[in-house]
Amino acid sequence: FPVTIGTGNSGYNVLHAIIIDGAKDGYVKFKTVNDKILELPVKEFITVSGNNNTNDRPVVQLDCSLGQEQFNKVPFSLADRSQQDTPVLLSKDFIKLNGGVVNVNINTDIKK
């Protein structure tokens, strides 16, 4: 999936998700990209403020890959990103934790 690296986002990574069934018995059921339905344990809830509103988001752990690199049990908060350019937002903390460097002084516009 296309990914945005949130240079201003020092919180959790975010995955596009439409919640089908909230944290019932510690699990959340949601629909994500390509209409894939998952049910995963909720690790915690976080409160996110922005655009004059506040909402609570479940956090789940997912395995993912970035290029050839595999990452296990990566925390993602679930949010409706249907109005965003990409279904996934990686936090700058995730990038730094895994040896990457974010240089906000360099602007690259990658076109396919």
Mean pLDDT of the chain, nearest integer: 83
Q: What is the pTM of this model?
A: 0.80
What are the 10-residue block averages of pLDDT along the chain, 112 residues in total?
68 91 88 93 89 88 87 93 90 76 60 44
Model pLDDT for residues 29-41, shown as the tens digit of each residue: 999 988 999 999 9
**Secondary structure E strands in 1-112:** 3-6, 13-16, 18-24, 27-31, 37-41, 44-50, 53-66, 69-79, 88-91
pLDDT of residue 111: 46
